[in-house]
Structure formats: structure tokens, C-alpha cells
Structure 1
């Protein structure tokens, strides 16, 4: 699988990376053996970076990764997790919790260091704390060798400019913002590149919106968005293609996005995604799908505090 450089870190990540949120049963109840096999399948097929968080399954994802990776040499994969978000409404970005969280994650996964540590979903808190307290504390942990590179993750585009205008970062992780339906991350890319930041994209399916699967109960897509996305999926089906295939191929095609993080607790899904990644994209079908999705292009929702979000156009309120 193609490897791409991650900003100025010196790391090279596979164009597809394994997202372990599914191991925390964020989308469905999982079979334990299947979940463990999905991790090993991803590694065997060349996905060299694994992304997780203590928030996924409230620790379950990290624990299962610790089991799955137990006999895998540490130099055979890159590992990233997050801190600050621990439950639906439980956020703690204090300097003390930074130190505790890193140590707990290391223990759960049975490793001596983490390649990447991200401040998780910072749009839910006063981001001044991230600048003044969280990142300085995380830099100290980095100096101790427990974490190699640090950054932030979250949903609104605003958060990346806010932080990078005041503090340097090694990496950022954005989700749902470089997909068939939403390409706002590409618009921000020149700014991120000017800061020398490594860019990781996640969630090419937009939490199943760009698949044939039912949406999870917590999905925020409006009726208009759901209907148009279904039109696009139906159109792909009429051409004998799963829209999820097109979604994966589109999200890995941009050379400025180092990797696209996608996860499943089903090893057969992982195999399918890697196969799709190796196939040429159908440019005609892509053009047709983008035309169908045009009325909802760059539709997004809000997360966290209002002041941390991007401005929503009137049409997105439908």
C-alpha cells in the first residue's frame, strides 16, 4: 500500500489507516474474535497506522487493541490515541489529566510510547485552555519520550486555525470533511501546509451516510441530506458499484491528505477497503455522483460550543 509522509514528522503512513472506534462498539455490538482479527488483517494488508481513543467504548477500544497487538513487534505499526474526552459529557483537558491519560493509554495498549497523541474534540471546551494548559503539558510528556508527536482533532474547521494561529502542532485529524459530500478540509489544506502540519483525514463514509448501511441513531443528517445521499447510493447501485467503494477511492485520492482513517470490527470489510483502494476510480461515475450530491455539498452540522463552530448557511438548516 502507498505510504505518504506526515507533515514534518518523518513518519510515513499508509494511505488507508485502521480506525479502532468500531472496537469500542460505537456503531454496533461486535464479535470479540472478529474485532481482534480485523486489527491483524489491517496490519497484514499494509495499513500501518492505528487510531483510537479512550472515548471509544470508554476504554474498550484501547484494551482490545492491547490484546490484538500483544505479540506484534512495536516497530511494525504506528499507534495514535487521544485525550481529553472520556464520556459523552465528560471532558478534562487539565495538565494533570494529560499526564494521567497518557499513562493509562500506554498501560491499556501494552506499549512504551505512542507515535501520535491528539487532544480529542476540543470544540466542546473553552479552547483557551487547550492553548494555555493542555498543549504545554503535552509537550512536556513529549519531551519524556512517551509521545512522539502531538496534535488536535475535532469536527469544525475553525478549531484548526484557532490553535495553529497561536501554537505549533505536529499533526491534525479531521473527520467527515473530505468525502464525496464535503470537501472543506481541502479548502483548508493550503493553510495547514503553510504551518508544516501533517494532515490526517478520517471517516470517508461520513458515519455511514455514504454507504448502503442504516445510519446510527445519533447521526445528525437532516431529511434532505439523507434523501439526497440515498439518491447517490441508488445511482451507484444502478451502475453496479457500491457507493462506499467510490467514497473510499475519492477520500484517498488527494495527495495532500496523508492518510484516510477507516475502521471496522469486521475483517472482511477491511479486506474489501484495501481491494477498493487498489482499483482505479470511475471518473464518469464520480462526476455523476458529485452532481447528485451538489445540493448538499459541504453541508455540515454543529458540535460542541457555538463559538467554536463554523458558520452555517441557511440552506443547511433544512
Structure 2
């Protein structure tokens, strides 16, 4: 699989990565054996970038990913996890979380302080069972901008300066605050989830020009917008919630256009995202080995140029969004 440099860092990463939120039981529980098979399938297809977080399954995704990666040569892959939430027992929490199923009896607590971030890193290393993490991202600091700048990023910069990690950044479901972080913190990369897809190109003007100018790599998650761009005909999800009727209608129009050209909507979704020069990695989540293999196949499936011309003419996407095959 093609490898590229991650922004200003020394890291080389594969163009496709595995996101592990589904392996933490997002929306439905996943067994240890299915999680291992999913990661092993991504590995066998050449994926060498893996993203996780304490939030995903309240530690479960980190544990499962670490169990597989501990068996691989450490220099053969790049690993990112996140800070900003500490996992603690919460006897008053509902038995089942609305998003993560089959999880340990822990709940995340926001903590973007310097000391909280240092504790978070130590605890992630224990769950992973590894001696180092390559990339650390400040996770979802939407309501904690000042604390993230004064505490979390200061801690991450220290860890990068002393060589403990290779790159730092933030991971969010919005582009506006990431654009602010690009000016306020010495970041190498951002994980942007769901804000540059066939349904939502909000980052096109707010974030991507800044990242291109400053050589900040974009790790793009949420490419299927929580599932609606994988299957817009079932109980479609968008941004982790039930999709509203207008979004479902647009997704179905995109699907119909794909079918006219004999291609899969998922293939168009991932290849559209990877066509933007600001996007370094396309992160694809999977909960089964078959999903992992299918996602990777979609990234390489042949798509005729006529489809991309028709997509632009349909006005279903921003007219300024770059398409595959166009000069960068």
C-alpha cells in the first residue's frame, strides 16, 4: 500500500488506516475474536496506520488493538491514540451506554489539563501493552478550547520534544476549532471526522487551505458519515444519530448516480475524500473482517471518469471540491 509522509513529522504512513471505534462496540457489541480478525485482515491488506482512543469502548478498543499490535514488529506500523478523557469507575452510570455496547464498567471524564493528559498517556500505554505511541491527538475539546491550549497541547509538545512521540494534533467532528488550533498550537496533523465527505464538505474552505499552507496532515475519518454513505436505504445514521430526511434524500440521490455508472457508493465516498491534496490518510472503521476487506477494496475499485463528471454536474457536491484524476 502506498506510503506518504505525515505532514511535517518524520513519520511515513499508509494512505489507508483502520479506525477502531467499531471495535469498541460502537452501536453494537463486537467479540474479541471478531476484533482480532478485523485488525488482522486490515494488516494482511497492507494497512499500517491504526487509530484508537480511550473513548472507543471505554478502553476496549485500545486493549484489542494492542493485543494484535504487540505481535508485530514495532517499527512496521504507526499508531495514534487520544487524550482529553480519563476512564474512571462510575457506579451511577446507566448500565448500557447509548453508543458503546459490551463495554467495561468505566466511564470517560473530560480532563484537558497538563497532568490529566500525562495520566491519560500512561493509562493508554498500559491498555495497549506497548512501550510507545506515535501520534497523540487532543480528543473533542469543543467546550474546552482554553484548557486544551494551556494544558493538553503543552503536555503533548513536551512529549514530542523529548522524543516520546513523533507527532501531535487534535481529533474533532468539526473543522472550525481545528482551524483555530492550527494557529494556536504547533500541530503536525488533525483527525477530522465527518466534515469532508460526499455529504458534507464544510472543511473545504474553513480548514483545508490552512492545513495545505502549513503542511498539517489531515487524517480523515467518518468517510461514510456514520453509515449513511455505506447504506442510505436502511436505518441511516449521520454524525452518530438518526439521519434526517433531507440527508437521506441526498445520500439516495448519490447512490442512484453511482448505480447509473455501475459503481458502489462506498467506492465513490472513499475515493472522493482521498482526492483532496490536504488529505493524507483515509481512516475506515470496521467491525468485521469482511467489512475491513470490503472497505479497502472500495478504495481501489475502478471508477470511470464519466462518473466524476456527472457528480460535479449533479450539484450534489461543492463545485470547488477536487475530484480524482484532476491535477493537484
Contact 1:232 1:293 in 2 (8 A): no
Question: Matched residues in 1 for 2:120 and 2:315: separation?
Answer: 40
CA gap of 1:86–1:210, structure 2 versus 1, over 3 A, is: farther
1:260 is paired with a residue whose SS is: strand
Preserved CA contact (<8 Å) 1:113 1:148: no
TM-score by length of 1: 0.85
Aligned to 1:53: 53
Change in Cα spacing, 1:214 to 1:242, as seen in structure 2 (3 Å) is: farther
SS at match of 2:279: coil
Question: The residue matched to 1:255 in structure 2 has which SS?
Answer: coil
Aligned to 1:208: 227
Is residue 96 of structure 1 aligned with residue 96 of structure 2? no
RMSD, aligned CA = 2.3
Q: Is the Cα–Cα contact under 8 Å of residues 117 and 150 in structure 1 kept in the other structure?
A: yes
Match of 1:143 in 2: 161
Q: Matches of 1:153 and 1:73 in 2, distance apart?
A: 27
Secondary structure in structure 2 of the residue aligned to 1:214: coil
Where does residue 156 of structure 1 map in the other structure?
A: 174
Task: Report matched runs for 1:31-50 at 5 Å.
Answer: 31-50=31-50
Cα deviation code 1:118-145 (max 9, x no counterpart): 000111x230111112111222233343
Q: How far off is 1:282 after superposition? A: 2.7
* Residues 78-89 of structure 1 aligned to structure 2 (within 5 Å): 78-85=78-85
Aligned to 1:169, which of 171, 184, 187?
A: 187
**How many Å separate the matches in 1 of 2:161 and 2:11?**
18
- Larger mean CA deviation between 110-119 and 269-278 belongs to 269-278
- Determine the C-alpha separation between the residues in 1 that align with 2:244 and 2:9: 39
1:50 deviation in Å? 0.1
Residue 225 in structure 1 maps to residue 242 in structure 2: no
Name 1:127's counterpart in structure 2.
Answer: 145
Give the alignment's TM-score, normalised by structure 2: 0.83
Aligned to 1:107: 126
Q: Identify which of structures 1 and 2 has the higher relative contact order when contacts are C-alpha pairs closer than 8 Å and 6+ apart.
A: 1
Question: Within 2, Cα distance between the matches of 1:292 and 1:21?
Answer: 33
Contact kept? 1:80, 1:117, Cα under 8 Å: yes
CA deviation after TM superposition for structure 1 residue 68, in Å: 1.7
Residues 1:215 and 1:86: Cα distance change in structure 2 (over 3 Å)? farther
Residue number in structure 2 paired with 1:243: 265
Corresponding residue number in structure 2 for 1:312: none
Higher helix share: 1
Secondary structure of 1:13's aligned partner: strand
User: Which string of whole-angstrom CA distances, capped at 9 and with x for unpartnered residues, describes residues 10-56 of structure 1?
Assistant: 22221111101111011322232121111121122111100010000
CA contact (8 A) 1:250 1:281 kept: no
Cα distance in 1 between the residues matched to 2:10 and 2:163? 16
Q: Which residue of 1 aligns with 2:63?
A: 63
The verdict on how the C-alpha distance between 1:260 and 1:179 changes in structure 2, with shifts beyond 3 A counting, is: same
Distance 1:215-1:25 versus aligned 2 partners, 3 A rule: farther
